[in-house]
Amino acid sequence: MNAPAPLDTLPAHRSLLAHAARLRDIHLRELFSREPGRAQAMSAEAHDLHLDFSKQRVDAAAMGDLLALLGQSGFAARRGAMFAGERINVTEDRAVLHVALRAPRGTVMRTGGRDVVPDVHAVLDRMAAFADEVRAGRWRGHTGRPIRAIVNIGIGGSDLGPAMANDALRDFAAPGLDFRFVSNVDPGDFAWKTQDLDPAETLFIVASKTFTTQETMANARTARAWSLAAFGGDERSVARHFVAVSTAADLVAQFGIDPGNMFGFWDWVGGRYSMDSAIGLATMIAIGPDAFRDMLAGFREVDVHFLEAPPERNLPVLMGLLQVWNTDYLGFGAHAVLPYCQHLHRFTAYLQQLEMESNGKRTQLDGRPVSWTTCPVVWGEPGTNGQHAFFQLLHQGNVTVPADVIAFAEPNADSLGMHDMLFANAVAQARVMGFGQTADELRALGTPEHLVEHKVMPGNRPTSFLLCRKRTPRALGRLVALYEHATFTAGALWNVNSFDQWGVELGKKVCGTLLPMLDGPRQPAPDASTDALIARYRAWRGRA
C-alpha cells in the first residue's frame, strides 16, 4: 500500500478552508432558510440507524469537497487493506482485523495467509459452552455451590467494553446473576466491588492478553488472596473460581487457572476493539450465547455497510468526515456524545478510549509530525441528567462544542409512558443547540428587557442526531461498529495510525521505575518535582 498524502496537500483541502471561512458567519437558521430540503438531503439511514446531520454547520458545497477530500486521501486503500488482513498497524507490524470477530461462520478472512474465521468461531463456541454452564448453575464452585456473582478484572479495553455492554444490556441479562467490574489499581475499587459477595459463589474473569498487565494482575492477585482465604488456602479452589481471557497459557497455569478455562484472542485484535472477542465473556454469560451472537450480527451489518455503501450514504464515513470538518476546518476542540438512554451511561467513556486512544496522535503514518489537529476531546453523559449539569455551557458558553445526540424510538420498558418525554427532551436540546433563541423572540414573549441578553441562546452549535429503533443486543453491535468505523475514517484522513498507543505504554514504564522509590532505601527521582512528591508521600506513610 502506497503512503497516503498528508491532509494539507490534498487538492480539496484549500477549498475546504475557504468553505469554513464562508460558513463561519452563516447561522444554521439561514442555511435551513436557503435549503428547504436540507433535513432530507442531510440524513442517511441503514439497519435501523437514522443519522440526521442537517444541524451541522456545513452545506452541500462543503459536503461535496469533504467527499472529494475522502476520495483524494488514502482512505479507500486503507479500508480495503484492513478488511484484507494487511498489517496496517505499521508501528507494531500487526494486522487490524477486529471485523473478523463478527464474520459469519464460513466467511473467509485471512491475515498472514491464514483464514482466521474458524479460529474465531472455535473460541465463540467454547465461550458459549462455558456461559451455558454458568447460566444453568452447572458450573460449581469449590464447595459445590453454583456461581451467583461474576467479577471481571481488566483495564482499558478489557474493562470499558464489557462493562459498557453489560450496563447497556442489563435488562437482557439472566436473573440471579450479579456482574461486577474491577479495573482501577486503587485498592478501594476491589474492596467496594466485593464487599457483599460470597467467595463460594463468586467467579473471577481475569482479562489480560499477556497476563502481565500491571493493574489487572495486581487486582487478580488481590482476588486470589481474597478467594483463597475463604477456602483455608486450598490452592485447588482457584481452578473453580477463576478463568482467564489471555494467550499466555504458561502464566495462566502458574496462577492456578486450568488452561482449559482460558479463552484466547489474537494480536490482530486491539484492546479497544475487543468487546466482541473473548473479552466479552462476561457479556455472553450475562445475556446468553444467542443474544451475544445477535450483537455480533449487528456489528457485521455495519461492517458490510461501511465497506459497500457509497460515501454520500455511508453512515460511519459521514460521521468521520464531519469530525474532521469540525475539528480541522471549523476549529472545535471538543466533541460531546449525549445518549438519551440511562443504560448507555458508560457509552461515552467507552468512546473516549476508542477515539482518543486511536486518533490522539502527533505523527503521521511515516513518522513525520502532523500539522493539523488529530482528535477532539470526547466527553459527555446521558440526557436528561446532563441537561442539569453541563448543557448550560453547550447552549450559552463562549466555546462551541459539536455534539452527537443519541436516542431510541421504541422503549424497552415504559409502563408510565415516560419515553415520549425522554425523546422530546432529546429533540428539544438538539433544536436549541441548532437554532437557539433570539433577542427579538424573547421580547415577543414579553421577557423584561434587563433579562433579554441573559436568556439569548446563540444556537448554531453543530449537532448530529442519531436515532436508533430500539435498544437490543443487535442495536448495540450496530452502534459500536458505527463509531469504530467513524474513528477509522477520521484517522485515515488525518493520516495517523489509529491502532497503537505508545503514550499509554510510556506511562506504564515510568510507573515501573518509580514504584521502588516509594519504599525501602531512599533513591533520588529523575526530576525535582517528582522527587519532592515522593518525599512527601514517604513522610506521610512514615517511610522517611
Query: What are the distances in angstroms from CA 514 to CA 135, 259, 501, 511?
Result: 43, 34, 21, 5
Per residue in 513-541, pLDDT (tens digit) is 999 999 999 999 999 999 999 999 999 99
Please tell me the predicted confidence (pLDDT) of residue 415.
81
Please tell me the predicted confidence (pLDDT) of residue 1.
66
**Average pLDDT over every residue of 176-197:** 97
The HSE-up count of residue 530 (CA atoms within 13 Å, CB side) is: 12
DSSP H helices, 84-168, are 117-135, 157-168
Cα separation, 447 vs 441, whole angstroms:
9
Which phi and psi (to 5°) does residue 409 adopt? -75, -40
Per residue in 21-48, pLDDT (tens digit) is 999 999 999 999 999 999 999 999 999 9
Q: From the candidates 357, 381, 484, 485, which is the catalytic residue?
A: 357
Per residue in 480-489, pLDDT (tens digit) is 999 999 999 9
| 177 alpha-carbon distance from chain centroid | 25
Q: From the candidates 45, 453, 470, 508, which is the catalytic residue?
A: 508
Cα separation, 498 vs 75, whole angstroms:
13
**Percentage of the chain exceeding pLDDT 90:** 96
Please tell me the predicted confidence (pLDDT) of residue 267.
93
496 confidence band (pLDDT: 50, 70, 90): very high
Edge-to-edge order in the sheet of strand 49-55: 43-46, 49-55, 463-470, 403-410, 334-339, 377-379
Per residue in 326-362, pLDDT (tens digit) is 999 999 999 999 999 999 999 999 999 999 999 999 9
Cα separation, 456 vs 442, whole angstroms:
8
Which residues, in sequence order, are CB contacts of 238 under 8 Å at separation 6+?
A: 224, 227, 228, 255, 256, 257
**DSSP label at residue 7:** G
Which 3 state secondary structure label does DSSP give 509? helix
Residue from 269, 373, 371, 301 nearest 46 by CA: 301
Which phi and psi (to 5°) does residue 440 adopt? -65, -40
Q: Is 508 a catalytic residue?
A: yes
Looking at the chain, how many residues does it have? 544
Domain ranges within the chain, ordered by starting residue: 27-86+309-494, 98-290, 502-540
**Average pLDDT over every residue of 226-237:** 97
Q: Is 509 a catalytic residue?
A: no
**Average pLDDT over every residue of 401-407:** 98
In degrees, to the nearest 5, what angle opens at C-alpha 337 toward C-alphas 82 and 346? 85
Query: Average pLDDT over the chain, rounded to whole?
Result: 96
Residue from 173, 233, 167, 166 nearest 199 by CA: 233
Cα separation, 544 vs 542, whole angstroms:
6
Please tell me the predicted confidence (pLDDT) of residue 234.
97
Do 98-290 and 27-86+309-494 fall under one CATH topology?
yes
Asked whether the predicted pLDDT for residue 205 surpasses 70, the reply is: yes
Cα separation, 197 vs 149, whole angstroms:
7
Beta strands, E only, 33-177: 43-46, 49-55, 110-111, 114-115, 149-153
Per residue in 66-118, pLDDT (tens digit) is 999 999 999 999 999 999 999 999 999 999 999 999 999 999 999 999 999 99
Q: From the candidates 388, 449, 450, 509, which is the catalytic residue?
A: 388
Per residue in 418-465, pLDDT (tens digit) is 999 999 999 999 999 999 999 999 999 999 999 999 999 999 999 999
Cα separation, 238 vs 256, whole angstroms:
6
Buried b (16+ CB within 10 A) or exposed e, 134-143: bbeeebebbe
Calculate Rg over the CA atoms of the chain: 25
H/E element, 533: helix 528-540
Cell digits of residue 240: 473453580
Asked whether the predicted pLDDT for residue 323 surpasses 90, the reply is: yes
Please tell me the predicted confidence (pLDDT) of residue 4.
86
H/E element, 470: strand 463-470
Binning the chain into helix, strand and coil, the percentages to the nearest 5 are 55, 15, 35
CATH code for 98-290? 3.40.50.10490
> Which one is the CATH code of 27-86+309-494: 3.40.190.10, 3.40.50.970, 3.40.50.10490, 3.30.70.270?
3.40.50.10490
